[in-house]
Amino acid sequence: MPASPIAVMASGKGSNLGAILAAIEAGACPAEVRLALSDRADAGALEIARKAGVPEVVHLNPRDYESRERFDMACAERIEQAGCEWIVLAGYMRILSEAFVRRFAGRIINIHPALLPAFPGAHAVRDALEYGVTITGVTVHLVNEVLDGGPILAQAAVPVREDDTEATLHARIHEAEHRLYPETLARMIREGFVVEGRRVRWKGR
């Protein structure tokens, strides 16, 4: 199977990008990261991409554009120029414009540190702890115009321990993310899927 070209958009340390690159290197994920793109010049993800030999490693500064839509358009043009089939959000902290989401409808995936639809938003781990749940987890989902609202591709549960802090729980959630994200990406490429309403149906079944 030929490798599927992907773009990874990240704002932070890049641990999920690193996990995907490691899975590709191990032959477990039939993808090729052609473009790593960040809205932050100091994002660790950019250095991870450079060290891995990703062909295009790009920082675009949102302040150089007059609107979110203009910035997203510039990102979209770089993604299309690189010939990427999928867009993988890996700790990308900007909310995508509706025009961007429509342009790549059904081709953008994200990972969220909770079992959606519970605890959407930027503080999912803290919110889960404050609510007092005994199980939280990780969700890989398609991106649509609703924040953390797209159809669910995969989920993994992470138990909450009585002595957990936000930091300890987040660390175990990251471990689950690093397993689930490459596995789900590989399954998407190998099997394919269709979306019926909110349900994802895997073609390999």
98-126 per-position pLDDT tens digit: 999 999 999 999 999 999 999 999 999 99
Mean pLDDT score of the chain = 97
Helices then strands, counting H and E runs in the chain, come out as 6, 9
Residue 180 predicted with pLDDT over 80:
yes
How far is residue 4's CA from residue 30's CA, in Å, rounded to a whole number? 6
- Percent of the chain having pLDDT more than 70? 100
Give the count of beta carbons closer than 10 Å to the beta carbon of residue 39.
Answer: 18
State the pLDDT at residue 205. Answer: 63
23-33 per-position pLDDT tens digit: 999 999 999 99
The domains located in the chain, with CATH, are 4-202 (3.40.50.170)
Residue 2 predicted with pLDDT over 90:
no
- How, if at all, do strands 4-10 and 31-38 pair? parallel
31-77 per-position pLDDT tens digit: 999 999 999 999 999 999 999 999 999 999 999 999 999 999 999 99
Residue 1 predicted with pLDDT over 90:
no
Q: Of the listed 59, 112, 141, 170, which one is catalytic?
A: 112
Task: Name the band, by pLDDT with cuts 50, 70 and 90, for residue 87.
Answer: very high
Backbone phi, then psi, for 138, in 5-degree steps?
-135, 140
Beta strands in 54-165 (DSSP E): 56-59, 86-89, 108-112, 135-142, 152-159
- Percent of the chain having pLDDT more than 90? 98
pLDDT (mean) for 129-140: 98
State the pLDDT at residue 144. Answer: 96
C-beta of residue 134 within 8 angstroms of C-beta of residue 160: yes
Catalytic status, residue 112: yes
